[in-house]
Amino acid sequence: MRHNTIHNDLVALEAHLVDDCYSSGELAAAIHAAQLTHKDEPLRFICETENLSIVLTRDLERWERLDWFGISNRLAWKALVNILRQRCATTTFRKADGSVEWSLIDNGRSVAKQLQARNELHLIRPMTNRCFNISGIRLSDLSQRLAYRMIRLSHKTRRPATQRVLQSVLSNIDNDGGDCAKEEEIWTSLRAKEIRKPVQDFLWKCLHNAHRCGSFWKNIPNYEDRALCSYCGNEESMEHIMTQCQAPGRDVVWNLAEDIWEKKQATWARPNYNEIIGVGLQKWYTPKMKRRPMAERFWRILISESAYLIWCLRCEREIGHSDEPGWKHTEKEISARWTSALNKRLHLEMAMTHRRFGRQALRRETVTNTWRGTLSDEHALPDDWTSTNRVLVGIATSARRAQGEG
């Protein structure tokens, strides 16, 4: 009986699969090798790693129960298993051992590079058999979270509105000279621990442009007038609400945020709409270009809470008091609401330092360093003030300024 020993890197780099999801070297090699070898001839793979043998022998049942969800190149793995199940001869996998086999790997890599330089790479298509397809997730392993992710995986079309907002946020971050961010980092930043769950939902809807305001009402008969801001008369949008609207609330909140931020000895610039959505990606540095992680943490708390309060004030004015033309919040009330929101966050973090939360408890140094410089009568507080009930955010001068401007 004849054995075919095929080096995976040589075949992988000679073969380009049609879809990007089939781009893994070992997977491409294995698929190509299995298709080149007769089904009744034993096939032996000599690989650089033990990845193939582990996945196809030890973890195969587990991955198939989950329809290969959570593994990179899942479609390539499914195709390889399908092709191997069509074979009636022995197939083995092992890692390369000895200088001879590793020299074959090096030679194969150099030959493949030459083929790539001459543009002589082959296109191959996995020759699968529908009889050997195992699709779907076992019901006993299915959860609501997993079902939702599989549905999202099967629907690859993306909302144009979401894409526009994402591109706008990414371009804003890049234009400010920061590191080139990725879309995944924006989504992950929305789940920062410093941002409360209701605020996370609010920012998530902003990123999807899913709030029911502005252009949302244009195509709804008899409700077209809701597309306009009742205070300014301009077309309403989330950007208008956060950065342009002249209704009481926005300026007062951002002025209060400016005063408290300057106490962190950092330069203030009123955030634009893209910076509000990407609040979790903002980086702050010292004059010597060292990162300030505690300042970044406080920035995420301050901006997210302030933006969410502006949205709540808008909803109360436009929806809660829609039957009262000309109704608006007083600046004193807005200042009190903002102060209460920041103090609640402060005391929540203080409570989270208690040891009853175990590993989820916040470190006391994290809380004290985050809020350092922003507290009222901070010089009279003990070094560890996390268990002191009288700790408050030092916004007295800010509140007087807001009321004075009114």
**Together in a domain, 382 and 344:** yes
154 is a domain residue: no
Q: Kindly provide the b/e burial profile for residues 18-49, where b requires at least 16 CB atoms within 10 angstroms of the residue's own CB.
A: eeebbebbbbbbbbbbbeebeeeeebebbbbe
341 is a domain residue: yes
**Together in a domain, 66 and 91:** yes
**Together in a domain, 282 and 387:** yes
**Together in a domain, 226 and 96:** no
121 is a domain residue: yes
CA 129 centroid distance within chain: 37
155 is a domain residue: no
**Together in a domain, 194 and 81:** no
Percent of the chain with pLDDT over 90: 37
Give the model's pLDDT for residue 406.
46
Last residue in a domain, options 117, 145, 173: 145
* DSSP string over 230-252: TTT-SBP-HHHHHHT--STTHHH
Q: Report d(CA 29, CA 7) in Å as an integer.
A: 8
**Together in a domain, 219 and 80:** no
**Together in a domain, 196 and 297:** yes
**Together in a domain, 75 and 181:** no
Phi and psi at residue 204, to the nearest 5°: -60, -45
Counting the structural domains of the chain, the total is: 2
- Taking the complete model, does pTM exceed 0.75, yes or no? no
**Together in a domain, 216 and 281:** yes
Q: State which residues form the domain around 323.
A: 160-405
Q: Which residues of the chain have pLDDT under 50?
A: 1-23, 175-177, 397-400, 402-406
Give the model's pLDDT for residue 121.
66
Give the model's pLDDT for residue 300.
96
Give the model's pLDDT for residue 12.
35
Q: Report d(CA 384, CA 20) in Å as an integer.
A: 54
* DSSP string over 37-61: S-TTS-EEEEESSSHHHIIIIISHH
For tokens 């070992």, the residue is 26
Last residue in a domain, options 121, 145, 169: 145
152 is a domain residue: no
- Residue pair 190/280 in contact (Cβ under 8 Å)? The answer is yes
234 is a domain residue: yes
pLDDT tens track for 100-138: 888 887 887 787 777 777 776 666 678 888 888 888 888
Q: What is the CATH number of the domain that holds 18?
A: 3.30.420
Q: Report d(CA 259, CA 16) in Å as an integer.
A: 58
Phi and psi at residue 390, to the nearest 5°: -90, 10
- Strand runs (DSSP E) across 53-106, as ranges? 91-95
153 is a domain residue: no
Last residue in a domain, options 120, 145, 170: 145
pLDDT tens track for 41-90: 888 888 878 888 888 888 888 888 888 888 888 888 888 999 999 999 98
Give the model's pLDDT for residue 194.
93
Give the model's pLDDT for residue 309.
97
- Residue pair 303/257 in contact (Cβ under 8 Å)? The answer is yes
340 is a domain residue: yes
